Amino acid sequence: MANSTIRRDFWHRFSRNKMALAGSAVVILLFFVSLLAPWISPYDPGEINLQMILSSPSGIHPFGTDQLGRDVLSRMIWGSRISLKVGFVATGIAIVIGGILGAIAGYYGKWVDATIMRFVDIMLCFPTFFLILAVIAFLEPSIWNIMIVIGITGWMGITRLVRADFISLKERDFVQAARAIGAGDSRIIFLHILPNAMASVLVAATLGVAGAILTESALSFLGIGVQPPTPSWGNILTAGKDNIDIAWWLSLYPGLAILITVLGYNLLGEGIRDSLDPRLKG
Q: Distance from CA of residue 251 to its chain's centroid? A: 22
Instruction: Indicate the pLDDT class of residue 18, thresholds 50, 70 and 90.
Output: confident
Instruction: Indicate the pLDDT class of residue 231, thresholds 50, 70 and 90.
Output: confident
Q: What is the mean pLDDT of the chain?
A: 83
Res 154 pLDDT > 80 = yes
More confident site: 94 or 243: 94
Supply the pLDDT for residue 5: 63
Res 282 pLDDT > 70 = no
Res 199 pLDDT > 80 = no
Res 78 pLDDT > 90 = yes
Which pTM value belongs to this model? 0.84
More confident site: 248 or 177: 248
Instruction: Indicate the pLDDT class of residue 73, thresholds 50, 70 and 90.
Output: very high
- Average pLDDT rounded to a whole number, residues 230-236: 85
How far apart, in whole angstroms, are the C-alpha atoms of residue 106 and residue 89?
Answer: 25
More confident site: 274 or 69: 69
- All domains of the chain in start order, with CATH: 44-258 (1.10.3720.10)
Contact 151, 94 (CB under 8 A): yes
Supply the pLDDT for residue 149: 86
H helices of the chain, in order, are 2-15, 18-35, 37-40, 72-108, 110-125, 128-137, 143-152, 156-169, 173-180, 185-187, 198-222, 233-242, 249-276
How far apart, in whole angstroms, are the C-alpha atoms of residue 272 and residue 203?
Answer: 6
